Amino acid sequence: MNVRLIFLLVPMLFLSLCFLLASETFAHAEEEMQVLLMFYDQKDLVVSSTRFPKPQSQVAENMTVVTADEIQAMNAHTVAEVLNRVDGLFVEFNQDFGAGSLIGIQGSDERHVRVLVDGVTWNFLSSGTAETNSIPVGIIERIEIIKGPASSSWGSSLGGVVNIITKAPGIQTRPSGSVSTSYGERRTQDYSGQVKGSAGPVGYYLYGGYRKSDGQESARGFEAESFYSKFRLPLGENARAELAMGYGEPDLKVGNYDLYGTRSSADARVFWSALNVNGSMGRYWAFELSARSFSQKLVQDNRFLGLPEGMDDRYLESDYDEDTHGGSGKLIWRRAAHTVVLGMDLDHGELDQTLTAGPLIRMYGVPARIHATPDIDKWAVYLNDSFVWGDWTITPGIRYDDNDITDGFVSPSLGVAYHMREDTILRASASRGFTIPSLSSLSGGGFQLDPNPDLDPETVDSLQIGAETRCLKYASLKATLFRHVVDDTLTGKTVVGADGSITAVVVNGGTVRRKGAELMVQTIPLYDFSLQAGATFVDFSEPTDSGARNIYAYNIGLRYDNPDILWAELFGHYVDWDIDEAFQVEYDDVIWDLNLRKSIYSSADTRVETFFTAHNLFDGMQYLTSGQENPGRWLEAGFRVMF
**Given this model, what pLDDT does residue 43 score?**
55
**Closest listed residue to residue 115, CA positions, set 130, 98, 102:** 130
Residue type, 607: R
Quick one: pLDDT band at residue 227, thresholds 50, 70, 90?
A: very high
**Closest listed residue to residue 214, CA positions, set 206, 205, 223:** 223
pLDDT digit string (tens) for 19-78? Answer: 333 333 333 434 444 444 444 455 579 999 999 999 999 999 999 999 999 999 999 999
* Mean of pLDDT over the chain: 91
In degrees, rounded to 5, the angle at the alpha carbon of residue 102 between the alpha carbons of residues 97 and 108 is 150
Which whole number is the average pLDDT over 522-530? 96
Q: How far is CA 389 from CA 51, 342, 376, 419, in A?
A: 21, 21, 42, 11
- Using DSSP's 3-state secondary structure scheme, residue 606 falls into coil
Which whole number is the average pLDDT over 431-457? 91
**Given this model, what pLDDT does residue 70 score?**
97
Task: Please state, in angstroms and rounded to a whole number, the distance separating the CA atoms of residues 506 and 127.
Answer: 12
Q: Comparing 547 with 137, which gets the higher pLDDT? A: 137
User: Is residue 406's pLDDT more than 90?
Assistant: yes
**Closest listed residue to residue 139, CA positions, set 207, 74, 224:** 207
Task: Please state, in angstroms and rounded to a whole number, the distance separating the CA atoms of residues 291 and 347.
Answer: 10
Contact 155, 380 (CB under 8 A): yes
Q: What percent of the chain has pLDDT over 70?
A: 93
User: Is residue 462's pLDDT more than 90?
Assistant: yes
Residue type, 166: T
Tally the residues of the chain. 643
**Closest listed residue to residue 66, CA positions, set 154, 133, 164:** 164
pLDDT digit string (tens) for 310-350? Answer: 899 999 999 999 999 999 999 999 988 899 999 999 999 99
**Given this model, what pLDDT does residue 1 score?**
38
CA trace torsion 63, 64, 65, 66 (10° rounding): -160
Listed range (138-147, 489-498, 586-595) with the worst mean pLDDT = 489-498
| Count of Cβ atoms closer than 10 Å to residue 268 Cβ | 20
Task: Please state, in angstroms and rounded to a whole number, the distance separating the CA atoms of residues 579 and 595.
Answer: 31
Which whole number is the average pLDDT over 485-492? 95
Contact 381, 343 (CB under 8 A): yes
Q: Comparing 276 with 239, which gets the higher pLDDT? A: 276
Q: How far is CA 67 from CA 13, 71, 83, 135, 371, in A?
A: 34, 6, 12, 15, 42
pLDDT digit string (tens) for 361-400? Answer: 888 778 889 999 999 999 999 999 999 999 999 999 999 9
**Given this model, what pLDDT does residue 40 score?**
44
- List alpha helices for 50-198, DSSP H: 68-73, 79-83, 151-154
Tell me 170's DSSP state: P
**Given this model, what pLDDT does residue 23 score?**
34
User: Is residue 496's pLDDT more than 90?
Assistant: no
**Given this model, what pLDDT does residue 287 score?**
94
Q: CA 298: distance to chain centroid?
A: 18
Task: Please state, in angstroms and rounded to a whole number, the distance separating the CA atoms of residues 183 and 190.
Answer: 7
Which whole number is the average pLDDT over 302-315? 91
